[in-house]
Structure 1
């Protein structure tokens, strides 16, 4: 199961607008984006996804992000980690 998290595509969905320092597309900060690839363990990545889901939900953007991210996982032919949270 750890392989699922290591192969998970970045949560970034290509919108990249950061009013207030948090991206409206994916909920990540610049620091989150810089460190995503270095977060290799299942626990680290799972924790980041949970934080992003909470942020996006608070911004009212969770449903859109989840839809686009699932499509991205499908296009890359990778299992979606959102199914394992």
Structure 2
């Protein structure tokens, strides 16, 4: 796992749902935190936490396919499985 994992952001960036982005569910502070994380294993753990957050909040079924497309484009791989 040498490649950096791309940000979970899918370039929607509309903070509505109680400060959470309607595209990826991250808050502004979570976006800053992800940028500060340098180790790929920690980035992957962050994405896993984000998936749990999205499941809890609901209405984020569009994110998985969009993020998988971003991963393929950047040629990045993750150990976790994203549901589409």
TM-score (norm 2): 0.77
Q: Report if aligned partners of 1:18, 1:24 keep a CA contact under 8 Å in 2.
A: yes
Q: Which runs of 4+ in 1 moved over 3 A?
A: none
Q: What's the offset of the Cα at 1:50?
A: 1.8
Secondary structure of 1:78 counterpart: coil
More helix by share: 1
Number of residue pairs the alignment of both structures matches: 79
Q: How does 1:2-81 map to 2 (within 5 A)?
A: 3-4=2-3, 7-19=4-16, 20-79=18-77, 81=78
TM-score (norm 1): 0.77
CA RMSD of aligned residues (A): 1.7
Gaps of 5+ in 1: none
More strand by share: 2
